[in-house]
Structure 1
Amino acid sequence: MNKTPSEAQLFANTLVNALAGFNSFDIYIAPVFVALDRVREVVSSNNIKLAAQNMYYEDSGAFTGEVSPKMLKELGVQAVIIGHSERRRIFGETDELINKKIKKALAEGLTPIFCIGETLEERQKGLTFCVLEKQVREGLYGINAEEVKRVVIAYEPVWAIGTGVVATPEQAQEAHEFVRSLLAKIYSDEVAQSVTILYGGSVTPENFFGLFVKPDIDGALVGGASLKESFVELAKIMANVLG
C-alpha cells in the first residue's frame, strides 16, 4: 500500500524510460488498485506489463471492498498476485480461498502469481517443507497440468519479507528445488521445469545476483526495492546474467 495514483504514474514514467529495451524477460509492476488506470496509460505501449496485488473469485456481487478479475482485465491487467503472506497473515486468507482465486484467475486469462512461504517459527521447527507442500497442494488443488504451466509460483519466506533479512542463496535454492520436485511428483518433470518460480523477501541489487544464478530461481517478486530506482538495477542484473 504505497504511492498515490499521481506518484505511481510518475514513477511508472521513470521505469518506462529506464527499462526500455529489456526484452529477454518479463517485467511486471503491481500498483495499488486506485493507481492501475493511470499506470496503464504509461506502460501500455512498452515492455512493462501490469499486475494487480489481489482479486476476488467472483465476477460481481455483495462483496464490499473487493475487486473482480473482469474489472482488472478492463484496466489492462495481465497478472495478479494471489496469497501474498500479508494477505494470509493480516487478512486471514486460507489455502482454500487462495485456490478459488487461482482457479478464477486462470479461467479469466490472468496469470496468477501464487505466493507461498513459511514463518520464522515454522522454519526453526523444521517445518519448512511441510508448510510449502501443504500450501502448494491445497493452492493448486483441482488445477490440471496445462493450467499449472500458466501459474507463476513465488517463494517468499515470511521471516525475510520487509525485515532486511534475506534467505541465503542456498536456503532459497533448497526451497525452490523442493517446490519444483513437488510439482514433478504432482504433475510431471516437464510441467515442473516449465513453471516459473520466483524468490521474494528483501531482494536488493546487493543480494539478487547470488540468488538469481541458482538453477531453480527464475526471478524475483520484489517488495521494497520496487518502490525506488533500485528496481532498475535488478533488471540490469537479470539482463546481464541472461546475456
Structure 2
Amino acid sequence: MKKTYIGTSWKMNKTLDQSLLFCEQFKKHLITDLQQQIQPFIIPPFTTVREVTNTIKNNQINCLIGVQNMHFEDTGAFTGEISPIMVKDTGAYLVEIGHSERREFFGETDLTVHKKVRAALKHGLKPLVCIGDSAQEKAWNISAETVIKQMKAAIFGLHQEQIQQVIIAYEPIWAIGENGIPATAEEAETIHKKLREALTDLYGKEIADNIHLLYGGSVNSSNCAELINQPNIDGLFIGRSAWQADSFCNILSIINRSI
C-alpha cells in the first residue's frame, strides 16, 4: 500500500522543552484509528532531533523524524555543518533537502541538492527534496519547467531502486510563509501531474506512480482534504498550521476521514 506522507518542518522554532511538550500533546491528541497508509512525520531543529526521535520511539508513536539540512560529505573541515553519519547517529530518517529558504539565504544550488540526495541514499536515509517556483516564474507561465528542472537535477543518475526512496515536495515559493497565497487544489494538481509525467518519461509509469509527490504551501485544516484527494498528490508538507500538536492531529484526522 502506497503511503500518504503528512508532516511538518518546525524550521528555526521550538526549544527542547517546547519540542518535548509537542511530543506529549501529539501522543494525547493523535487519533487511535489512523489508517495504516497515513505516515506522519516531523522535522525539528537539530538541537532537539535526538530527544524528539527517542521520545517518539519510546512512546511507540507512528511518526518519522527528519532533519532540515545535511552536508554531502561524511566528515571534513565544514564548520557548522552536519554530516549524514551524524544524522544517522541522532536516529532521524528523513532529510529535508533544497528548501527554497536554503536556496535563497544559504546558497543551496541544484548541484549541492543533487550531492545531498546521493549522500542520503548512500547512508540509508530518505531524501525529501523540495522544489518550487517563484511568483515571477508563475507569472511567466514557466512554473512546470522550473520545478521539473530542479527535480531532474536532484535525481540525476539515480537507478530505479534509488528513485523510489526519494520524496519530492512541491512548495511554490509564493505559497509558503506567513504571507503565502495558497495554491488552489487545481493549481497544485496541474504541477504534480507534470512532475509525474516527467518521472514517467525517465523511469516508466509503474515506478513513477510509486514515487511520492507531496504538496506544501499554506496547507491548513480548510484545504487539506481537497488537496490530498487530487490524483497526483501523495501527501502534504505543512507549515505553521501543524506547529501545534492539536492542530497537526486535527489535520491528520481530517485526512483520515477524507481518503
**Superposition TM-score, scaled by structure 2 size:** 0.91
Offset at residue 20 of structure 1 (A): 5.2
1:41 to 31, 40, 54: 54
Equivalence for 1:16? 27
8 Å CA contact 2:241, 2:247 repeated in 1: yes
Q: In structure 2, give the amino acid aligned to 1:204.
A: N
1:58: Cα distance to partner?
1.0
Aligned: 1:27 with 2:43: no
- Alignment CA distance shift 1:20-1:47 (3 Å): farther
Tell me if 1:4 matches 2:18: no
Change (3 A) 1:134 1:197: same
Question: Does residue 1:180 correspond to 2:196, yes or no?
Answer: yes
Q: Which residue of 2 aligns with 1:134?
A: 149
Match for residue 248 of structure 2? 231
Cα deviation digits, residues 153-181 of structure 1 (max 9, x gap): 10000000012410000000000000000
1:214 pairs with 227, 230, 234, which one?
230
The offset of 1:9, in angstroms, is: 1.1
Match of 1:169 among 185, 189, 198: 185
Residue 182 of structure 1 and its aligned partner are, at CA, apart by: 0.3
Q: What SS does the aligned partner of 2:38 have?
A: coil
Q: Report deviation, 1:46.
A: 2.1
Equivalent residue, structure 2, for 1:158: 173
Relative contact order (C-alpha < 8 Å, sep 6+): which is higher?
2
1:62 aligns with 2:77: yes
List per-residue Cα deviations over 1:123-166 (Å, max 9, x = no partner).
10111111012101111111112100010110000000012410
Q: Is the 8 A contact 2:176 2:218 kept in 1?
A: yes
Match of 1:118 in 2: 133
Report if aligned partners of 2:174, 2:180 keep a CA contact under 8 Å in 1: no
Secondary structure, counterpart of 2:230 in structure 1: coil
User: 1:48 & 1:133 partners in 2: Cα distance?
Assistant: 29
Instruction: Work out whether 1:91 is the aligned partner of 2:102.
Output: no
Q: What SS does the corresponding residue of 2:133 show, helix, strand or coil?
A: coil
- Identify unmatched segments of 5+ residues in structure 2: 1-11
Query: Aligned AA for 1:33?
Result: F
CA distance in 2, matches of 1:13, 1:211: 28
Structure 2 counterpart of 1:187, one-letter code: Y
Q: Render the CA deviation track for 1:102-127: whole Å, top value 9, x for unaligned.
A: 01101111110111110000110111
Aligned match of 1:146: 161
Preserved CA contact (<8 Å) 1:20 1:46: no
The alignment of Structure 1 onto Structure 2 pairs a total of residues equal to 242
Q: Shift of residue 89 of structure 1?
A: 1.2
Give the aligned residue type for 1:19. Answer: L
Identity %: 38
The Cα shift of 1:16 comes to 2.0
Q: What amino acid is aligned across from residue 51 of structure 2 in structure 1?
A: R
Bigger Cα displacement from structure 2, 11-20 vs 74-83? 11-20
User: What RMSD in Å do the two structures reach over aligned CA positions?
Assistant: 1.1
**SS at structure 2 position matched to 1:221:** strand
User: Please, what TM-score do these two structures have when normalized by structure 1?
Assistant: 0.96
Matched residues in 2 for 1:100 and 1:233: separation?
36
